[in-house]
Structure 1
């Protein structure tokens, strides 16, 4: 294999090479949403990732986000357990459901709502985003088809639509 890039010293690869993040070592110091629990596995702070974020999310039974999009980011969701419902579009007029083993792709700027479609069991997913920055743009002038029962993304990044925390 020919490569014109300079060869790093072997000791560099020890610290800058492959990283294994154990499932019991995920970082919950990430943006949280009521009814959802996110944990980062791969990000800049943990492994030096420059162009990707990966982690897990557990969504409580019947929990729903408000309507939002992720700017330029692309997102991939892999359903481990449970039943996911996604609504998307200018008026959330489109809907699809995914079960264990299914992948969901969310393109840039698509208004959407994430929903645990099971009223009794948690939804467990792996989430991968195309950048390290958490970009969430809440869309407050669109009435969701499935109301989030006043559950909004509330943390330093995600503000309540009324402006408060």
Structure 2
């Protein structure tokens, strides 16, 4: 067997080290986020991780601050999966073809939104902003607004618990 150290994928030569210097791990400071992203009245979104900023190919991450009682229109994100982490405040999510389901999350909770699910994001607190971290499964911003929803008046409450835990007592 000959010496193949020069063409090994984990070669640690000087050129390789320089590559990782510029194409390796990135730290995006919280005060350096990019507000050049889609905005909604009463909400302020900022990108942290996307293609333009760090070359991300398969993920988007950023923050959103939603003012008290503000909400999005009904929409879905196509085939993207979304994760929302509540940093501060109380989020109310409504979803379904007629927004017939509702659940709330508070600081420390995660929300998962599957592909194509019609939903609406709401700050459920009338007194304080809702701060969240958003992560989406693709770099493209896919938002499909749904304008012909006839929402039910009183949505069914769905608790964010797993099947072995019961809903809280009323």
TM-score range, shorter chain: 0.7 to 0.9
Q: Deviations over 1:99-137 (max 9, x none)?
A: 000000000000000000011110000000000010000
**Match in the other structure for 1:160:** none
Looking at structure 1, the residues matched to 151 and 24 of structure 2 have their Cα atoms a distance apart, in angstroms, of 44
Could you tell me how far 1:6 is from its partner in structure 2?
Answer: 6.1
Q: Which has the larger radius of gyration?
A: 2
User: TM-score, normalization: structure 2?
Assistant: 0.81
Give the one of 138, 146, 150 matched to 2:145.
Answer: 138
Report the counterpart of residue 24 of structure 1 in structure 2.
31
TM-score, normalised with respect to structure 1? 0.83
Q: How many residues align?
A: 143
Could you say if the C-alpha distance between residues 118 and 145 of structure 1 is closer, same or farther in structure 2, counting changes exceeding 3 Å? farther
Q: Which runs of 5+ in 1 are unaligned?
A: 147-165
Q: Residues 74-85 of structure 1 correspond to what in structure 2 (within 5 A)?
A: 74-85=81-92
RMSD: 1.4
**Where do 1:67-78 residues align within 5 Å?**
67-78=74-85
Is residue 120 of structure 1 aligned with residue 127 of structure 2? yes
User: Relative contact order (C-alpha < 8 Å, sep 6+): which is higher?
Assistant: 1
**Counterpart for residue 156 of structure 2:** none
Unmatched 5+ stretches in structure 2: 1-7, 154-170
